[in-house]
């Protein structure tokens, strides 16, 4: 049980910085500036739900797809960790996640864009996909111990998706209370945590690769 709890919280800590709800909440608020408060609340709920469904489906189907393609989980771990490191480095250097032209394009017909592009790729982008694939437990999903590991990872995904909903749902009030300095501080701390987790995932992948030699 402690191992499963560790896996759940490790999944959450791996996904939260790359999803980065504190930094993306102002973007969400800006993109939904022309809709009503009720519509914005509905969008936040849909995005949180879609994030969980998409990443959980990727967790269960992604490992199977990788096996068909002949790509091992350790290789995905190394690749995902490197991508995380790259994303965190840009976040630490305060590079914008979205350009102004991309923001303007998304603002049109907002309500029918809850899944694409507001969930994918604005909220759950390539980095999130890579991290989720790197967290796929090794082994047969039909084996009870492995299935429990999948459930633990799915619980971590649910926690991360819940934070997306919370920050998006209360983005206006939260951002006003935090102020620009507070939001920037949370974003930088998240970026540093993401950097460390990226290194950890790469190291885990390398260790698994070495064991196969």
Tell how many helices (H) and how many strands (E) occur in the chain: 8, 0
In a domain, 192, yes or no: no
Question: Using alpha carbons only, what angle is made at residue 9 by residues 97 and 80, rounded to the nearest 5 degrees?
Answer: 45
In a domain, 190, yes or no: no
8-59 pLDDT, tens digit each = 999 999 999 888 887 788 778 777 867 888 888 999 999 999 999 999 999 9
Q: What is the average pLDDT score of the chain?
A: 80
pLDDT at 122 over 90: no
In a domain, 207, yes or no: no
Higher pLDDT residue, 156 or 136?
A: 156
In a domain, 205, yes or no: no
In a domain, 197, yes or no: no
DSSP 3-state of 139: coil
Residues 6+ apart with CB under 8 A from 128: 15, 18, 19, 55
Q: How confident is the model at residue 103 (pLDDT cuts 50, 70, 90)?
A: low
Q: Exposed, middle or buried, 190 (CB in 10 Å: 0-12/13-18/19+)?
A: buried
Predicted confidence at residue 72, as pLDDT, reads 72
pLDDT at 102 over 70: no
What's the total number of domains in the chain?
Answer: 1
Instruction: Look at the block and give the residue holding tokens 């959450």.
Output: 12
Predicted confidence at residue 13, as pLDDT, reads 92
Tokens of 71: 């790509």
Single pTM value for the model: 0.72
Backbone dihedral region for residue 107 (phi beyond 0: left; psi -120 to 50: alpha; all else: beta): alpha
Predicted confidence at residue 99, as pLDDT, reads 55
Q: Exposed, middle or buried, 180 (CB in 10 Å: 0-12/13-18/19+)?
A: exposed
Distance (Å, rounded) from C-alpha 136 to C-alpha 77?
A: 9
79-91 pLDDT, tens digit each = 777 876 776 787 6
In a domain, 185, yes or no: no
In a domain, 89, yes or no: no
Residue 38, domain extent:
2-72+94-178
Predicted confidence at residue 138, as pLDDT, reads 80
């Amino acid at each position: 049980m402690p191992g499963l709890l560790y896996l759940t919280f490790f999944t959450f800590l791996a996904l939260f910085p790359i999803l980065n709800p504190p930094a993306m909440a102002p973007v969400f608020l800006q993109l939904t500036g022309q809709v009503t408060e009720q519509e914005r609340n509905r969008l936040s709920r849909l995005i949180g739900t879609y994030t969980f469904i998409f990443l959980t489906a990727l967790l269960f189907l992604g490992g199977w797809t990788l096996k068909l393609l002949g790509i091992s989980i350790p290789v995905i771990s190394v690749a995902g960790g490197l991508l995380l490191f790259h994303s965190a480095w840009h976040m630490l250097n305060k590079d914008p996640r979205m350009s102004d032209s991309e923001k303007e394009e998304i603002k049109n017909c907002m309500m029918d864009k809850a899944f694409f592009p507001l969930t994918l790729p604005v909220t759950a982008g390539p980095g999130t996909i890579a991290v989720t694939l790197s967290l796929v437990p090794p082994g047969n999903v039909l084996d009870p111990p492995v299935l429990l590991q999948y459930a633990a990872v799915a619980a971590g995904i649910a926690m991360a998706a819940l934070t997306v909903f919370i920050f998006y749902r209360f983005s206006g009030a939260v951002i006003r209370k935090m102020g620009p300095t507070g939001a920037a501080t949370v974003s930088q701390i998240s970026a540093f945590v993401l950097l460390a987790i990226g290194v950890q995932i790469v190291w885990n992948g390398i260790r698994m690769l070495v064991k196969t030699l």
